[in-house]
Structure 1
Amino acid sequence: MFLGTTQVIDTLFDSVKILCLINTFEKQIEKRAIHVNATWAKRCNKYLFLSYNENITLPYLDLGLPERRSNLWSKIRALFRWTLENEIDNFDFFLKADDDSYFIMENLRFMLLPYNPDEAYYFGSRFKYIVKHGYMSGGAGYILSR
């Protein structure tokens, strides 16, 4: 039996559950975050913008850290601590993205479909300079399995 495009998209949406965690800063909400909200974020099973701005009208998570570039690593660590404590059992994969990223969620789900979310997977780009053992680049986003 052939499934139509809409049925395939719906099946993938239900089969590969993704929580999208989108980093933004107060001054980027009106320039970038609203456009992410209007386009690809709505195709996530759930999405949250990481901001402490109380005036944000988008789904957001306040991690209680001042929005300075020097706090970026602390913000991401707090994000994954929160995810582990609150959402780890609700999703298969966790997409960490920036507000200047664009994802075709249907293609991402199709790519992730064969992977067991209970095994350790990281999809992204590892940079091997500056830090001795390298680090995972956050610029283009990355995906972690449950």
Structure 2
Amino acid sequence: MEKVIKCPVSNRVIELDVDADSWFVTIEGACYLIGDESDNAVLAVLPFLEIPIQDFKKSVSEFLIKYPGSIFPYEVFIHAGFKHGSPHWTDCALEWLSGLNHKPESDFSKELEIIVQKKKRYSQKSRHLAWKLLKRGY
């Protein structure tokens, strides 16, 4: 497996299995498939959402120069942040979603609608960004 990004705030590493074209998060020898819907896989990707999306995209694009056929699953990370549901991870997921610079293949409208509606749970800034993304058709 090829090491792609090490999380600066934890001992997690994103790796690509080139032969299988599969992405993994490795934590102290344990390996979690990115995109697996298990709770452990979802929790494994969360700390990477704290990296600004532009910095993350730069690192990934530099890596993918060697593997032009591979596509990084940004949307899986965004789904993980929304699935967790805490205001912190939701804010991180919103920032990543707004920083994609393209309309995602996944439909995030349900998650965005929940954020807009929950005035007591999410900040005005988060609700406004969610509304803005909804209007763009995300």
Fold shared, TM-score > 0.5 on shorter chain: no
Relative contact order (alpha carbons < 8 A, sep ≥ 6): 1 or 2 greater?
A: 1
TM-score if structure 1 supplies the norm length? 0.29
TM-score if structure 2 supplies the norm length? 0.30
Please state which structure has a larger fraction of its residues in helix: 2
Please state which structure has a larger fraction of its residues in strand: 1
